[in-house]
Amino acid sequence: MLKELSIKNYALIDELNVSFVKGLNIITGETGAGKSILLGGLALVLGKRADLGQIKDSSKKCIVEATLEIAGFNLEELFKSHDLDYDDEVFLRRELLPSGKSRAFINDTPVRLETLNAIGSKLIDVHSQNQTLQLTDESYLFSIIDSISGNAVILNEYQDIWNQYRILTRDLEALKLRQKEDLKRRDYNAFLLEELNEIKITPGQLVEIEEEHAQLENAELIQHHLQFAMQVLSNEEIGLIEKLKDVKRNLDEIAGFSSNYEQINQRVISAIIELEDLASDIYSQESEVVLDPHSLNEVNQKMQHINTLLMKHSVNSLDELLEIRLEFKKEFELTNNLEERIVTLEDELVRLKSGLNQLAKRLSDNRLKAAPVLGRQLEQKLQPLGMSNAKFQIELLSLDQLSSNGKDGLSFKFTANKGSKFNDLKTSASGGELSRIMLCLKSILAQYTKLPTLIFDEIDTGVSGEIADKMGEIMKSMSRHFQLMSITHLPQVAAKGDVHYRVFKEDSGEQTLTNIKELDQAERVQEIAKMLGGVEKFDSAILHAKQLLN
């Protein structure tokens, strides 16, 4: 249960501290007094999104703190699932900083806002006025039937698999779209890859091809110069080798006169040997020079093909061209793998769908049992609330397609009068009737779901008199099992409270502030008398208020 609530620097609240008790807590106040501000502050500490415009003084931070007693509600696993230590008393804190940032804490441990919201939603259920319209929402009605039918565990398992199924379905659609696009490009890319595969050379071989091209294209010139070199070196009359041999013969005659002459002679011999070897190499090279127009044409075509591909793919080197070829090969491999991945995903989806269908059947079976039970319980609880002829027709509709709820649709029809035909709840129930139906639903749900605190924000709108008194009795009965807080304008409901708080505005200097006060018995009489509208006949209103309280 909510033990304490503290709000600082929020809307019209400067600083507010209030303690609550077990049982039925009543909150009243004139329209515009600030009851919605109180709920707004509570929503912040339960993890709802913040409106920074609600900070009262933008130069200071806004702080909302709540202390709750949660022993006996089996919430240990909830805290463990969020990696938080469990304690029978939990402390929630929310801070809105002037910078616009927000901080959240659970038992002084910093947490993400999503964590605060996940924990807070299991601690306090705030039923606002507009939530009565949820009665016309199929997903909300399903949540009621599933709570009554005990479907929580099955539904969690189903929705886990359903989320996997949706993700894989989306992935499969993306793969099939990619495959379709790839197949459109496949023929053209295959042609490009075939062109690139014709380049049966490596980057190092390109240098050899370029040399071969240069040699074939300049064969006559190369041959001419090599022959000239041979002539200069090896001519029998004027060649360098013959001239050096003449030098050697002359040096042979003086080599014995000095070691210096001998060294010179040896060097000449070495030069002759080197030149003879050089001449031999030049002769070999010259003999290999071939005037081959056919080979030249082949090399020209190969070079032209490479250059054409370089231009076609907008690259400057063979390395880049070969990299493109590698990318094409990888793309083809991926395209081929797509089919395998698609088949794998399809098999997995078949498996998941089978599991979903089995769980959906179990959900449906349980709902079929719970739907008439819910209808009967509602009819019984509405009888003392002036709706003795109310009847419900709650039917499950079998659907062909799976959804997040299983394979069921829901028909929730209602009639308030004998002899009237059943119609959809949203078109056949008045605002006051919807309020009473919602209260009865909450009362029924309280038997199946455990929450430390339930807050009704004017759930009794649209009713009065004896009906209001009966609604107050239902709330009183509910509060025996958990803490119930009711914001109300009805004196009949207010009189049923174990404790009564009044929200009011007061002027403080140059500003108007919202505050809350716990009323003693005398103050309760005064407050309920005002709610009875006893302005002119205040004495009789006082007597009526005392009767209600007694």
Same domain, yes or no: 116 and 198: no
Identify the CA nearest to 352 among candidates 96, 133, 167.
167
Inside any domain, residue 15: yes
The region of weakest confidence among 127-136, 298-307, 313-322 is: 127-136
Mean predicted confidence (pLDDT) in 341-346:
90
pLDDT, residue 139, reads 83
Supply the DSSP symbol for 23.
Answer: S
Same domain, 127 and 204: no
Strand partners, 515: 504
The pLDDT score that the predictor gives to residue 131 is 65
On the question of pLDDT at 163 being above 80, the answer is yes
* Helix residue ranges per DSSP H, 383-430: 425-428
Which pLDDT does position 446 carry in this prediction?
79
**Which residues is 457 bridged to in the sheet?**
487
Whether residues 82 and 226 share a domain: the answer is no
More confident of the two residues 143 and 351: 351
The two tokens of residue 380 are 């019984």
pLDDT of residue 89: 93
| pLDDT for the residue 325 | 74
- End residue of a domain, out of 336, 351, 372: 336
Same domain, 108 and 12: yes
Q: pLDDT tens across 307-323, in order? A: 777 777 777 777 777 77
User: Which pLDDT score, from 0 to 100, does residue 160 have?
Assistant: 93
Cβ–Cβ under 8 Å, residues 224 and 262: no
- Give mean pLDDT, residues 4-22: 91
Q: Please tell me the predicted confidence (pLDDT) of residue 232.
A: 86
Same domain, 193 and 327: yes
Residues 119 and 192 in one domain: no
In percent, the amount of the chain with pLDDT more than 90 equals: 35
Asked whether residue 191 falls in the same domain as residue 291, the answer is yes
SS3 124: strand
Residue 333 above 90 pLDDT? no
pLDDT at 217: 76
Phi and psi, residue 94, nearest 5°: -130, 135
Tell me the C-alpha distance between 366 and 359, whole Å. 11
For β-strands 24-28 and 483-487, DSSP reports them as parallel
Please indicate, yes or no, if residue 99 is contained in any of the structural domains. Answer: yes
- Distance between CA 4 and CA 67 in Å, rounded? 5
374 inside domain:
no
Residue ending a domain, choose from 278, 312, 336:
336
User: What distance in Å separates the CA atoms of residue 129 and residue 438, rounded to the nearest whole number?
Assistant: 11
pTM above 0.85, yes or no: no
Among the listed residues 5, 20, 2, the one whose alpha carbon sits nearest the alpha carbon of residue 68: 2
Burial 12-24 (b: 16+ CB within 10 A, else e): bbbebebebeebb
292 within a domain of the structure (yes/no) = yes
| Range(s) of the domain holding residue 188 | 182-336
199 and 305 fall within a common domain: yes
Domain shared by 199 and 108, yes or no:
no
Instruction: Give per-residue pLDDT as tens, 496-527.
Output: 999 999 999 888 778 888 899 999 999 999 99
Helix 138-149 / helix 318-382 crossing angle, nearest 10 deg: 70
Supply the pLDDT for residue 14. Answer: 87
Closest residue by Cα to residue 213 from 301, 281, 153, 141: 301
Among the ranges given (40-44, 90-94, 347-351, 432-436), the one the predictor scored with the smallest mean pLDDT:
432-436
488 has pLDDT over 70: yes
In a domain, 202, yes or no: yes
**Two tokens, residue 409:** 């649709």
Q: Is residue 356 part of a domain?
A: no
Average pLDDT over residues 140-160: 90
Q: 220 and 319: one domain?
A: yes
Length of the chain, in residues: 550
Looking at 282, 310, 336, the residue that finishes a domain is: 336
Residue 74 is assigned to a structural domain of this protein = yes
Is residue 223 within 8 A of residue 230, CB to CB? The reply is no
pLDDT of residue 192: 66
H or E segment and range at residue 39: helix 35-45
Quote the tokens at residue 349. 């989806």
Question: What does the mean pLDDT of the chain come to?
Answer: 86
129 pLDDT above the threshold of 70 = no
Are 192 and 257 contained in the same domain? Answer: yes
How many structural domains does the chain have? 2
Judge whether 538 lies within some domain: no
Do both 198 and 108 map to the same domain? no
| pLDDT recorded at residue 201 | 61
What type of residue sits at position 403? S
Q: At what angle do helices 431-445 and 318-382 cross, to 10 degrees?
A: 100
> Residue 490 maps to which CATH number?
3.40.50.300
Average pLDDT over residues 358-373: 94
* pLDDT given at position 316: 74
DSSP result, 235-266: -TTT-HHHHHHHHHHHHHTTGGG-HHHHHHHH
